[in-house]
Structure 1
Amino acid sequence: MLIDILGDFLQSTGFATITGGQIFMLLVSFVLLYLAIKKEFEPLLLVPIAFGMLLANLPLAGLMKEPIVEIVKDPNTGKLVSETKELGGLLYYLYQGVKLGIYPPLIFLGVGAMTDFGPLIANPKSILLGAAAQFGIFFTFIGAIALGFTGPESASIGIIGGADGPTALYLTSKLAPHLLGPIAVAAYSYMALVPIIQPPIMKALTTEEERKIVMEQLRPVSKKEKIIFPIMIAVVVTLILPSAGPLVGMLMLGNLMRESGVVERLSKTVQNELMNIVTVFLGLTVGATANAEIFIQWGTIKIIILGLIAFSIGTAAGVIFGKIMCKATGGKVNPLIGAAGVSAVPMAARVAQKVGQEANPRNFLLMHAMGPNVAGVIGSAVAAGLLLMFFGG
């Protein structure tokens, strides 16, 4: 009798039903947690993503289980109505913020409130570096088409090259929601691994002399300029490309809150409480989409590889254009800041600073790199708007 009871108990646990694929995904989550906690690779992103991945691959927990809904006839009216027979899992409901495109604009609101656009305003030429770094998006879009993905799928895969997780989620939720899982994990993983992926590319494409270049201090930017800039960008970009409005609009609203000086309480809430809450929900549910059944497929592996190619080419294109600007200005531009043209704010700018200081301890590139970095955020949102305009119909 005791043996039967123990046998029934073991059969009711996840140990009896766990698969090889789930074990593999659990190991992947452990590696990501190690990188986040031990190596401190963007822990604010990787900890919730990795733990969401862990939870999604624990059998029988049902945290991402969809609700069971039946269509029944209302006894009072005789009309057919939907009735929920069984509720879904906790993470399933939190995931609706990703699926419905709610979290990404809220993240942009927080990014805008936390970011100083002054370096971009002081050096408008850095817009070109931000634009150049978006080349990886369109190059990979063509590559994905060649590999047999549809137009909307290819657009969603290509946007990973912008190194902007919220933009990738927003576009994919509109164009290819069935690919949200692998694209979300790829986009956020590459964002978190910027300090690993970018430096080898930057060093391979630049000489030590170029990396040593010390740039002149940026001019001071007035408060009036900082207030006018987000209003102008929101109006102009949304009029030209309405599909980019939700992302660009929220980004500029957050920045206006920061710079106006009259809504400090709202600005602090957006920068801290709101941003932290949305980051937890977003990271956790993004990780939870990486279940073994969906993730361990050849199509998913192709997306991961294409995403890495997109991000690498975006970084390379930014550096190469930085070299062109260096030549055009007689050596006044350090090409490393071009790598910050991808949208990972402020990670990519910090990487440019770190690589520059390795070559020259007197080099302070952070503020110079923030210009292309901010331009990259706007550029990736514009690229997403273009792709949405072409394939969203």
Structure 2
Amino acid sequence: MKEMRIGGKQLFWLVAVMQAGMTILLTINPAVMAAGRDAWLSTAFASLLGVFSAFVHARVNRRFPGQTLVDFVPSIVGKWAGNAVIGLYFLFWYVVLGMILRQYTEFILSTILPRTPLLVPLVSMILVAAYVTVSGIEVLARCSELFGPFILLGILLPLILMVDDAKMNYALPIYSDSGLLVILKGSLPTMTFLGDCVLMWMVYGFVAEQRTGSKYVLLGVGMSGLLTCAATFLSIVVMGPEQSSNMTYPYFNLIRNTSYFDFVQNMDSLVIAIWIVSVFIKVSLYFFACTYGTAQWLKVRRWRRMAWFVAPAALGIALVPRDFIESSVLFPQKIATPYILPIHMFGLPLLLWAVAKMRRAGEQPVKRKN
């Protein structure tokens, strides 16, 4: 069977679709709660740091074309330290995979399926993600390329329709009521979501255009950040910072109340569709990274068999939180922001980049298994 390969444009849509939906839906509320009317400045700053994070990951991977995290980390820091770093990344990825599944399930149950048992949407998403994973990264990339333009249009169209309802006084004064530290605090939730482009360390090795592939990741992260900033700003100027901070999903409520000349209405179903597709791509990408990466790390020759381990592990982690508060509030506040963000998304990538440059580490491309 031929080697798995994806194109640069597919990589762009993979990143953009993975990040846009969940970032817009889940980070506006905590950003507004922290920074008030200046939350859009927080998301703008987070977007810049997200692009910087993607740049660091790309620079590391560029030194090791055709390789994944499991291949190049031991080449940089040695076998034992490399295994510790790899194990830490997989620990984070397994936990985040389970939390994404639980956050998705909580949203579905609270909006459209309130009487549905928890396991129904949870297991359904795991099965779909597992099917796409064992089909290969190419299938996932094609799905993101197919759905990506529709998701972009689905996000932009409601935002454009809401411009006429904007009350700019809600956004004034700028900066003076918050200050730098408050704006930085408000940027942390968005930064945490955009920083998961580190997952591309398990995907870069499959990109056909190894020398130019990194720019597509930067563009994907940048576009997701820009859309989040626009959605945050419109949520503030349409509903006001106080009302936005009191809503669990400000963007969803903003679109739910959209009415354009009484002709375009009830667009909340569009948001739900965007959310489901975005979560599907994100869950599938994490599922692939955990499946392929764990098999590669443990030297399992038929990597698809590892899906039988990843699926129940993800399900078990998703069932750990007792409710919405633990999965969508306490997990980001107590684990994702203080630990995963500084270590997994910035600290280790910067350290690996610095050590690789000092040691002038770099390997020849290795052939990926299909």
- TM score, norm. by length of structure 2: 0.29
Instruction: Say which structure is richer in helix.
Output: 2
* Structure number with bigger Rg: 1
- TM score, norm. by length of structure 1: 0.27
Asked which structure has the greater RCO (Cα within 8 Å, sep 6+), the reply is 2
